[in-house]
Structure 1
């Protein structure tokens, strides 16, 4: 598949492999798109476009909006793009799109129409992140973000940070991941974003407020999709275990108790291996190396104590995995994708899953003796 090369020459945008030649001042560079469908069946689309002069470093003068948001309404998704001609004087350019935001009520109705629209129209992109908003999408897309003043890029950088934290190259939460997961039994999980405020922080004076967690955006839990339709929500803990047990994550932080004292570790080089012991029995083995982050024990680390920590971690995480399976059975969600295997097709709930956890604590800090 040929890749398109974009070249800027004397104010013209040239695209190799296509016949398009566009003036930069004729384009609205879209950073984020949010979509909702109201109770009357109308599609409300929000297009957030960059305001380049405000993104440049400014040493003086008032703050200006880094982006502008345009809203269009149409009875069909395909016509939302057409309606932009009534509210802006430029053509939409989506090659630098950072993410899609979908309202929860639209996600629960299903995203087949949206997926088909994006796949059929050549200038729409499906290889960018997609997230679900618990709050009205107008609050999410019309909120100033700090540090990075472009909201779409801010959301993408947050998701990239989560991916690096789990050792994942790219979180499996793109629109193309949702489409690819339609024929499979294992659900697709997308992050849920929340707005911490009552009204959207859409004025630039938000940038002058020191309290960064007030009137801001945060991720909390995940939305579970089966056949492109949202069927429920999960907590961050369950979502993180979903990444680990399905082989996406290679790193994760975990805390456990040993003799009443809390110990926190970072799991590294996580390896998951599945083996069928019988027709109705699946054995999942997890091996991980661990680095000690926090140790509240008031005694010196010894080889025996390290072994005790490894044993305590293995026992604790095995129980967490068993609770994960129990949760999946209770919700009737094939969270481990057992139904996508030859042995578990159409009968994944009948399969007994057992776990074996093995760990090795090898990464230690600068001292092995607690301060007294």
Structure 2
């Protein structure tokens, strides 16, 4: 009986003894795998392409012009690291030429002992003559393919004869010109100002869609003597080709039509009770456009509605006689502003098409084609070939809904 029990106990323990032996046999393999993983992790502990600041030539911005021999002239505004106290300039302008943009970048790299770094580059300025000769797509494509260039790079058109002259450091000025231009662009966003910007990836997307057209900001000197940089309206494109310009006085209406705003102003002028003119200024706190379209036998009709929340910030004497800050006067003023803004926006579209001089192919910088492209791709494919004619002959109905929530005397929430 005891012998039988011992036999059963040995049989019962045998599988566990076998498992223990297998574990001991597998231990060297597990240890080797752990050691290999530990060694591999040592090679993945940081950035594989890390460079110190002393190994980089930092590019703040750059310009592209047509070289004298017909190639490309590349001009880099680099952050100056000079230890010479007599050198007050914050930047230096370095130039090179090449048959292609990539060739010019390579050639300029041979002028430095360290790497040319575009990771902090804010702006690119293109000369008008280069864009007219090569087209915009040929200038944008190599930039987007370069992993070292940010896809939110802002592209501007030079209002001067060349692009590089805008980046030449001025005497006794210690500013980074490209950063200054970018700050002007950033400050202009969301308010009714003189320009609007597009970033590299947005430009490439618009060119690739081949629906609505581009409008890029123009930068120039305020005058030949002072040479202060100013933003001056928009250069318009048809496809990748320069087509014209949007006048500065058209910018306010254009921006109200194409995007939401949270700043800027609007002036209402009308006859007063006496011979003096009534003038009221409102500050735009918030505006939002909405766009609808109908396409049928009568052609293409766009319905645009602008919602505006504003504050009345200035009344002259004649205006105060008409609108005395009562509730009824406030409603009357809102109605008058709605009519004035609607008429102003419709006139802007008409004047823009007239300024195109009856062109066969006027640039659509308003996004009207994109509205069809995104909502009804099949319809867009059917009208794509005769879109310019549709755009020229389209009907535009613009309306405005405006609320004044603050007059300084009466507050309505």
Query: What do the CA deviations read for 1:113-169 (whole angstroms, capped 9, x no partner)?
Result: 2211112221122312111111122321014499971111111111110014359xx
Distance 1:317 1:266, change over 3 A: same
Query: What do the CA deviations read for 1:97-119 (whole angstroms, capped 9, x no partner)?
Result: 11111111122331222211112
2: CA distance between counterparts of 1:161 and 1:47? 24
Residues 1:351 and 2:380 are matched in the alignment: no
Residues 1:262 and 2:287 are matched in the alignment: no
Deviation at 1:46, TM superposition (A): 0.6
Higher Rg = 2
Question: Hey, which of these two has a bigger chunk of strand by percent?
Answer: 1
2: CA distance between counterparts of 1:63 and 1:132? 30
TM-score, structure 2 normalization? 0.72
Query: What do the CA deviations read for 1:293-316 (whole angstroms, capped 9, x no partner)?
Result: 322234343334333432332222
1: CA distance between counterparts of 2:136 and 2:293? 35
Which ranges of structure 1 fall in alignment gaps of 5 or more residues?
1-14, 55-60, 200-213
Query: What do the CA deviations read for 1:321-367 (whole angstroms, capped 9, x no partner)?
Result: 11222134332222332223146743333331111112111222269
Could you tell which deviates more after superposition, 218-227 or 237-246? Answer: 237-246
Is the CA contact (8 Å cut-off) linking 2:215 and 2:237 kept in structure 1?
yes
Distance 1:122 1:216, change over 3 A: same
Query: What do the CA deviations read for 1:211-268 (whole angstroms, capped 9, x no partner)?
Result: xxx3210011111123233211112343343332123434431112132222211222
Deviation at 1:63, TM superposition (A): 6.2
Distance 1:292 1:145, change over 3 A: farther
Question: Hey, which of these two has a bigger chunk of helix by percent?
Answer: 2
Distance 1:351 1:17, change over 3 A: farther
What residue in structure 2 maps to residue 21 of structure 1? Answer: 50
Deviation at 1:39, TM superposition (A): 6.3
Equivalent residue for 2:215, pick from 184, 189, 200: 189
Residues 1:81 and 2:105 are matched in the alignment: yes
1: CA distance between counterparts of 2:339 and 2:122? 41
Equivalent residue for 2:366, pick from 320, 323, 336: 336
Q: Secondary structure at the match of 1:22?
A: coil
Which ranges of structure 2 fall in alignment gaps of 5 or more residues?
1-43, 272-276, 357-361
Is the CA contact (8 Å cut-off) linking 1:144 and 1:151 kept in structure 2?
no
2: CA distance between counterparts of 1:165 and 1:246? 12
Q: Secondary structure at the match of 2:402?
A: strand
Query: Pairwise CA RMSD of aligned residues?
Result: 3.0
Aligned residues, how many?
A: 333
TM-score, structure 1 normalization? 0.80
What residue in structure 1 maps to residue 79 of structure 2? Answer: 50
What residue in structure 2 maps to residue 161 of structure 1? Answer: 187
What aligned pairs does 1:219-298 form with structure 2 within 5 A after superposition? Answer: 219-259=231-271, 260-276=277-293, 279=296, 280-298=300-318
Distance 1:145 1:291, change over 3 A: farther
